[in-house]
Amino acid sequence: MTSRYAAAFTFALAAVLLSGCSGKPGNATPATQPPPTSSGTQFGAPSVSGPLDTTPLEKDPCAALNAGQVASLGAPFKSTFPQPDGATGPSCGWRFATDDGPSSVGGALATKDPGHSGISGVYGQQKMGGLTKFEPFTVDGYPGAVYDNASNPPPGFCVMAIGLREDLTYVITVNLDSLKHPFADSCAVGKKVAGYVIQYLQKGGR
């Protein structure tokens, strides 16, 4: 894996976890956040009724998806880029074997979110007007949201967070340089990744 790809992957994960930031990409401006409550979700975010033990992801962030599951997303698996001590928390990048460009998906367990706000942090950004895209969804009963704070995000790029506990999210980034073939919509790919991660944790990391 090239250092260029590694740097881009790290930047993408760090950028989307800048809770309460607004403005153009590369020029994020902190926004004033309302004071947090002592427990539960905030800002209208759904509750996480079945909190998951994320220890398996913390120990081995790349174990969440196997090669067959990566290939099921739309292209053969090429390589992983593990970052067990990433800037935002344990993370992994899964790169596809495509000729068109460095298409990939990445996932990060947001253990280093300073506010430990979980999915409420994304809803808080929306409440404060810091997002240009905000699309709530659920996967296997777990609340998530597709979101972005960029005014002109690149084609084939999608970011989402899924609440694994009320104080913890798993952030998924999808970057598809080969925009039409063999992949489907980048956000549909990300939601499929979310489903795999949830199933992995529900099985205790097996």
Quick: pLDDT tens for 99-108: 666 788 999 9
> What are the tokens at 145?
């949201």
pTM over 0.85: no
Tell me what pLDDT residue 184 has: 65
Q: Which residues fall within 8 angstroms of residue 5, CB to CB, at 6 or more apart?
A: 81, 93, 95, 102, 104
> Is the Cβ–Cβ distance between 171 and 159 less than 8 Å?
yes
Tokens, residue 30:
């902190």
Cβ–Cβ < 8 Å for 79, 1: yes
Looking at the predicted structure, is the pLDDT value of residue 158 above 60? yes
- In CATH, what number does 3-16+49-202 get? 3.40.1000
Residues in the chain, overall count: 206
Q: Rounded to whole angstroms, what are the CA distances from 66 to 72, 76, 159, 185?
A: 10, 11, 21, 21
In the DSSP assignment, the letter for residue 39 is S
